Amino acid sequence: MNSFSFCLRLSLTTLALACLGTSGAWAEEQEAAELYHQYCSVCHGDRGDGRSRARQGLMPPPRDFTSPESASLLTRERMLEAVLDGRPGTAMTGWRTRLSQEQALAVVDHIRETFMQTGIKKADTTAQTDAATQVTAHSVTSRGNFNSGRALYAGNCAACHGLKGDGNGPRAYFIFPKPRNFIAEETRRSIDREQLVAAIRNGVQGREMPAWRLVFTESQIADVSEYVYRAFLRPPDDASP
């Protein structure tokens, strides 16, 4: 084989490998765009500016991702949390039960690259992806301190949920829908650790349950979650896992 033939075959091989890499990246971007179209565009619009047909019926209106305010306020981690767990007080629902962590991140990156023009590229986001995953993992799996959580619950939660966790705190009379009764069988069957932490961190849409991440640290959220879970949802005499 002469040098010309060798160089030609080497060039063709390199070009083929490059095309394969480009094809894979293109397929990933197409999948992210399809996810956005399926789950997000009905409210946020095809151009990400919130100018959708549903806009008139939503209050507050959907987020305009193209605005300078969105670019300055929305971190990748905050957007990931919103996609997975929703935004209390808005029509933004959480898609944790429909989208995997990887799909949620793909949608977030699609929005940031396409509408917010942050300049984030796939090759530059490995560290950020790890950080976002760590934030989410901490928020749903950390086991807090039971005794510290007891004090936090008494000082911040009992007014609505009651010292016994039965939803009959002194403020409960003035609240509708009524505060969650943690010791009810229906609640015990339907709420797990992940859902409990998410509700405490981000609030509950349609209820007076606020987003305690604006007040508590991550450790405090883990502490009060641990107390509620072990004291009311899974007390010592409860054999469920």
At 201, which CATH number? 1.10.760.10
Residue 232 has what DSSP assignment?
Answer: I
Lowest mean pLDDT among 36-50, 51-65, 192-206: 51-65
* Domain that includes residue 24, residue range: 3-139
Which of residues 106, 139, 172 is at a domain's end?
A: 139
Do residue 123 and residue 195 come from a single domain? Answer: no
Number of domains the chain is built from = 2
Q: With DSSP H G I counted as helix, E B as strand and the rest as coil, what are the percentages for the chain, rounded to 5? A: 60, 0, 40
Hey, how many other C-beta atoms are within 10 angstroms of the C-beta on 239?
6
pLDDT at 39 over 60: yes
Task: Give the chain's mean pLDDT.
Answer: 79
Q: How far apart are CA 41 and CA 62, in angstroms?
A: 10
Residue pair 175/160 in contact (Cβ under 8 Å)? The answer is: yes
Do residue 18 and residue 77 come from a single domain? Answer: yes
- pLDDT value at position 58? 79
Do residue 178 and residue 153 come from a single domain? Answer: yes
pLDDT at 129 over 60: no
Query: What would the mean pLDDT of 25-32 be, rounded to a whole number?
Result: 70
Q: How far apart are CA 57 and CA 59, in angstroms?
A: 7
Query: What would the mean pLDDT of 169-192 be, rounded to a whole number?
Result: 90
Do residue 161 and residue 92 come from a single domain? Answer: no
Could you tell me if residue 241 is inside a domain?
no
208 φ, ψ to 5°?
Answer: -85, 10
- Looking at the chain, the whole-number percentage of residues with pLDDT higher than 90 is 29
Do residue 8 and residue 105 come from a single domain? Answer: yes
Q: Which of 79, 54, 49 is nearest to 65 (CA)?
A: 49
Query: What would the mean pLDDT of 89-106 be, rounded to a whole number?
Result: 87
Query: What would the mean pLDDT of 10-32 be, rounded to a whole number?
Result: 56
